[in-house]
Amino acid sequence: MALVVKKFGGSSVATTEKILAVAQRILSEKNSDDKIVVVVSAMGKTTDNLLTLASDIDSEPYKADYLRELDMLLTTGEQVSIALLAMAFKKLGHPAISLTGAQVGMKTNSVHTKGRILDIKPKRVHEELNRGNIVVVAGFQGADSLGDPVTLGRGGSDTSAVALAGALKADECEIFTDVDGVYSADPRIVKSARKMKEITYFEMLEMARLGAGVMQPRSVEMGQFFNIPIHVRSTFTKDSGTIIREDYTVEEKDFEIRGVAHDTKVAKISVLGVPNSPGIAHTLFQSLADANIDVDMIVQSIRNIDRDINDIVFTIALHDLPEAKKVIAVVSEKINAITVLFEEDMAKVSIVGAGMLGSPGVAARMFGALARADVNIDIISTSEISVSCLVKGSQVTEAVNSIHDEFFPDK
């Protein structure tokens, strides 16, 4: 007997035919004594469509005053898909029950639209499984101490599934999606990208953080925390995909890096000509922090020894740019900046791999690959297991391909 949590994303349940196909597949692969929990997202583009409705009421639906209502709205998407999937199981002759986040004991904080899971007490799930039901759970949602619905951030169903698998002490968490695994680079832009059999939580987390869109980063953190293997695989084929786990178990060819990630949703801000004196960086970045804006790469350099002024250049997520512009308009006067430049057409390309620890020259090879592709490097940053370069957004395809060719030459 196995207890397995299976998560199906929006594209896998986009129509009622697809919902019936998901139910059919699950039943055909189920051993008679297996306990199955299915976590689903909203059908197709439902969440986006609900957000469009909200913006018809106010063009800025993410205002603080609306966030609770947005969650009330968005959680309806998953409620539709769980009801239909539970009906599909019954139609095919298997008992099933649908449950919301609140009903499975998914306790969150009250940070609406960006909630975090505090605790899960899945007593009801165990009871329903023991009654012989397949339990169909709404992803992306929990409830706070008042019982109000709270969503977990876009893509949050992955996190719901992995966290629930952890709380249930499941044997495995399977994430069914429209790609068949995790690749060494985005296969849509790199033809020779390779599917990995396995990747560690540590490396996957870094890949996800640096832009690999397969999994919500927080779901990988959850997997690591509970030590639940996560199997990322295709909804449309039976082939096995990529298993994210603590350590490698199979002998994979020894690459120094595991993958190339890229992120095109990056904006660059250059605050030019500020006094070279204590407190300037603090004032600038504190005002961004106060507005809840995450700053990523930062470079400060002395521009002019004679006049003793600095340039501070940094990157943020593109969606934070409108808010950042407001903040910077105020703070740049306070710190006497000569001028501020904003650039939207930027991309961050990164290499990731625990193998680069103690393997000198990896960064130099990445820079060489960018030089060969005639891509200029704007900012460089590193972590223990990654190196990232900021480049022009229009050159991201060349950049990623050239780096991938360097580290994953065709056999």
Q: What does the binding site for Mg ion look like in residue numbers (CB under 5 A)? A: 9, 155
In angstroms, what is the minimal distance from the CB of 9 to ligand ASP? Answer: 6
Q: In this complex, which beta carbon is closest to Mg ion, that of residue 162 or of residue 391?
A: 162
217 binds, among Mg ion, ligand ASP, none (CB under 5 to 8 A by kind): none
Residues 271-330 binding ligand ASP (CB under 6 A) are none
d(CA 5, CA 40): 11
Residues 14-43 binding ligand ASP (CB under 6 A) are 41-42
Instruction: Give the interface segment with ligand ASP, choosing from 82-90, 148-156, 204-212, 294-302 (CB under 6 A).
Output: 148-156
Considering the rule CB under 6 A, would residue 181 count as an interface residue with ligand ASP?
no
Using the rule CB under 6 A, which residue among 98, 103, 157, 184 binds ligand ASP?
157
Considering the rule CB under 6 A, would residue 388 count as an interface residue with ligand ASP?
no
Q: In this complex, which beta carbon is closest to ligand ASP, that of residue 234 or of residue 300?
A: 234
The total of other beta-carbon atoms located within 10 Å of residue 352's CB is 28
User: What stretches of 43-194 show up as alpha helix (H) in DSSP?
Assistant: 46-57, 67-91, 123-130, 157-167
Contacts 24+ apart (CB under 8 A), 326-332: 326/291, 327/287, 327/288, 327/290, 327/291, 327/293, 328/269, 328/271, 330/287, 331/283, 331/284, 331/287, 332/271
Residues 241, 232 contacting (CB under 8 angstroms): yes
Task: Give the three-state DSSP class for 405.
Answer: helix
In angstroms, what is the minimal distance from the CB of 7 to Mg ion? Answer: 9
x-or-dash string of contact with ligand ASP, 62-81, rule CB under 6 A:
---------------x----
Identify the bridge partners of residue 339 per DSSP, sorted by sequence position: 272
Using the rule CB under 6 A, which residue among 5, 6, 10, 163 binds ligand ASP?
10
242 binds, among Mg ion, ligand ASP, none (CB under 5 to 8 A by kind): none
d(CA 196, CA 376): 30
Q: Residues 175, 218, 140, CA angle at the centre, nearest 5°?
A: 65
**What secondary structure letter does DSSP report for 133?**
P
Sign of the dihedral defined by the CA atoms of residues 45, 46, 51, 56, in that order:
positive
In angstroms, what is the minimal distance from the CB of 352 to Mg ion? Answer: 20
d(CA 388, CA 346): 13
In angstroms, what is the minimal distance from the CB of 222 to ligand ASP? Answer: 13
In angstroms, what is the minimal distance from the CB of 155 to Mg ion? Answer: 4
Residues contributing to the site for ligand ASP (CB under 6 A): 9-10, 41-42, 47, 77, 139-140, 154-157
